[in-house]
Amino acid sequence: MMTYQTIAAVALGIGLSASAGFRIFIPLLVASLANMFGVLPLGESFAWMGSLPAVICFAVATVIEILAYYVPFIDNLLDTIATPLSVVAGTLLMTSVFPADSEWMKWLAGLVVGGGSAATVQGSTAITRLLSSKFTVGTGNPVVSTGENVAATGFSVMSLFFPILVASFVIIFIIIIIYFFKNKILKNKDKDENSDMNEFRQ
């Protein structure tokens, strides 16, 4: 039977992983600092994340990533490589806090739950940025980027103190995204079928 501590740890992993879908390095930096100051316990094999060199590396990478997303069209280019990187970050974050004795179970849960959460959120942000680029010619992208920075930071920090609440919100958010894309795919499929039928009749 799962204890509250286990559920909270899993929820924490989900919150941090989902945050990696907004920004790759912000949740890694938050987790690194939290571990350094004794707020977030990590698995033995992830002790390096709380070291000073790791904090410095994550901090520098965070600054570069944030600034890069304010450069027009570079932000869209970054989205093409952000998805696989967010999966890696989400997997790492989930695995580092997942309460299991088995290493393979940790990494499996990290990949499926953590990587999946990060990829889903990142995919939604990439589409939002593409729509912004299309309808505002890129002028609205800084607003989108700022929102992502705030979301990544807010969810990461809140996950440390209110993990179950954040995880619940993330799960609802992911369900809405999946439902939206499922309906969109079905509508496009119906349009294609109707178009083919009309061409056949003609």
Structural tokens at position 1: 């039977």
Taking residues 58-64, report their average pLDDT: 96
Residue appearing with tokens 């570069």: 64
Ordered DSSP codes for the chain: ---HHHHHHHHHHHHHHHHHHH-SHHHHHHHHHHHHTTSS---GGGGGGGSHHHHHHHHHHHHHHHHHTTSTTHHHHHHHHHHHHHHHHHHHHHHHH---S-HHHHHHHIIIIIIHHHHHHHHHHHHHHHHHHHHHTTTTHHHHHHHHHHHHHHHHHHHHH-HHHHHHHHHHHHHHHHHHHHHHHHHHHHHHHHHHHHHHH-
DSSP state of 39: S
Encode pLDDT of 155-188 as tens digits: 999 999 999 999 999 999 888 887 877 776 556 6
Query: At 131, is the pLDDT very low, low, confident or very high (cuts 50, 70, 90)?
Result: confident
Report the pLDDT value the prediction gives residue 201, as an integer from 0 to 100: 53
pLDDT at residue number 146 = 94
Q: How far apart are alpha carbons 24 and 200 in whole angstroms? A: 48
Angle between helices 4-22 and 74-97 (to 10 degrees): 170
The Cα 118–Cα 77 span in angstroms is: 18
pLDDT at 96: 93
Average pLDDT for 54-70: 95
Question: What six digits make up the tokens of 10?
Answer: 């899993």
- Reported confidence tier of residue 1, pLDDT bands at 50, 70, 90: very low
pLDDT band at 32 (very low <50, low <70, confident <90, very high): very high
Q: Considering only CA atoms, which of 112, 103, 105 is closest in space to residue 46?
A: 103
Q: What are the domain boundaries of the chain?
A: 4-201
- Flag whether pLDDT at 197 surpasses 60: no
103-119: average pLDDT: 92
| Residue among 99, 86, 91 at smallest CA distance from 42 | 99
Q: Which two tokens stand for residue 114?
A: 């953590």
